[in-house]
Structure 1
Amino acid sequence: MHTKNNTKTLMLLSALYSIVFVFAAISPTSRAVWVAEILPVVGVLGIIWWVSRSFAFSKTSYVLMFVWIVMHTIGSKYTFANVPFDWFNELIGSQDRNHFDRVAHFSIGFYAYPIAEYLLKRHAVKPAIAMLFGLFAIMSLAAGYEIIEWWYAEIAGGEEGIAFLGSQGDIWDAQKDMLMDTLGAISSLFLLSVQRRVFSSSHAK
């Protein structure tokens, strides 16, 4: 359903994000890494606005989509291995690795929610099909992005390539990142399932 309130949510989130964008653009750790990391963010934001011209996602969808946009932009400023995230690393008892990138990858999975929502509302497919498509879409995207990271790191080389890759010496970094993407997708689809049940129950009364 296309509602003005949902459009206002998108405008408000975009306005708040512009502050984060300006913050990240000022004196990043590596300007080359910042450009490489911010391009997909700008692309995703553009796609969200383009799709929203004819289809308004729910407020939940918009909030979930902006979680990754904000986190990835912050990562672009510091490089993911150097984001000030000590409080979380200490919370999970990890002093040898910055887990900001893992959390950011988890938030990528949140996009399974709007993908499934779009299919449910626009194409009226069965919920199981919509959710499986959302999950598999994220898993495919995760694999594709890891290939792009490897490609860019090979071309850039040196410290810039290492900073962009963000593996921090973990030989299983790509696989763990894809796992986090998948877990994020499963979590967001579980949320969608619960919300649909609550909504259906309230209308059945």
Structure 2
Amino acid sequence: MDRRFPEILAATFVVFFVALGLAPVSRQVWWAENIPVMAVFLYFAATSRRFRFSNLGYALMAVWLFLHTIGGHYTFANVPFGFVTDLFGFSRNHFDRLAHFTVGFYAFALAEYLWRRRLAHPVVIAVFAVTVIMAVACAYEIIEWWYAVAEGGEAGVEFLGSQGDVWDAQKDMLADTLGAFFAVGLFWLYRRQLPVDADAPAGLPR
């Protein structure tokens, strides 16, 4: 089971993705939201033979894939998330914040790759992983803004997903960053259990 976990996870996601690709709320928004999902999934599927991440690494990366697929089906502002909104008395649907938090989980995969390849000191790896996620978060908010302006209309508003919050972009980037800190914390606890690649250079502290 452990060795087949990535393949089982990938197959489960494909079924899930196809199912939620049927009759989305907005096909325009579905394409805009799921192009990154397809790109990320296909990249890791294509490179899995050259570098196989740990089961934890794949599980963490899969969380964003599943959540973003849900957001693409319903549009993020309209995902059925009312039970959480009501429970905490929120004034908006925070499903998008949850999805942004899981973007930060990719910091674990980045840190794992650098660690197993022995490319940097663990402290440098941790800092680098967080800053990369912060840069990606910033770039994605710029892309969202560009798309919303270029597309206009209802599709542009739904893709942006700000729900009237003027600080939406900044809060999304903060959620990404907090997710990265969480993932790097997991990496720090888990790193000694990760195998070092046989052809990696020696000498860096563990």
Same fold (TM over 0.5): yes
Q: Contact 2:97–2:172 at 8 Å: present in 1 too?
A: yes
Aligned match of 1:112 in 107, 112, 115? 107
Counterpart for residue 154 of structure 1: 149
Counterpart for residue 190 of structure 1: 185
5+ residue gaps, structure 1: 201-205
Counterpart for residue 134 of structure 1: 129
RMSD of aligned Cα (Å)? 1.5
CA offsets, 1:50-76, max 9 Å, x none? 331211101000000000000000000
Q: d(CA) in 2 for partners of 1:34 and 1:196?
A: 37
Cα offset, 1:5, TM superposition: 4.3
Q: Report the 3-state secondary structure (helix = DSSP H, G, I; strand = E; otherwise coil) of the residue aligned with 2:104.
A: helix
Counterpart for residue 89 of structure 2: 93
Q: d(CA) in 2 for partners of 1:158 and 1:27?
A: 20
Q: Partner letter of residue 135 of structure 2?
A: S
Counterpart for residue 170 of structure 1: 165
Q: Contact 2:57–2:109 at 8 Å: present in 1 too?
A: yes
Q: Contact 2:112–2:191 at 8 Å: present in 1 too?
A: no
Specify which structure has the higher proportion of helix: 1
Counterpart for residue 62 of structure 1: 58
Cα offset, 1:84, TM superposition: 0.3
Aligned match of 2:13 in 13, 17, 20? 17
Cα offset, 1:91, TM superposition: 2.5
Counterpart for residue 52 of structure 1: 48
TM-score computed with the length of structure 1 as normaliser = 0.91
5+ residue gaps, structure 2: 195-206
Q: d(CA) in 2 for partners of 1:163 and 1:51?
A: 33
CA offsets, 1:107-152, max 9 Å, x none? 0000000000000001342111111111011000000000000000
Cα offset, 1:178, TM superposition: 0.1
Q: Partner letter of residue 152 of structure 1?
A: Y
Aligned match of 2:34 in 17, 29, 38? 38
Counterpart for residue 103 of structure 1: 98
Cα offset, 1:163, TM superposition: 0.3
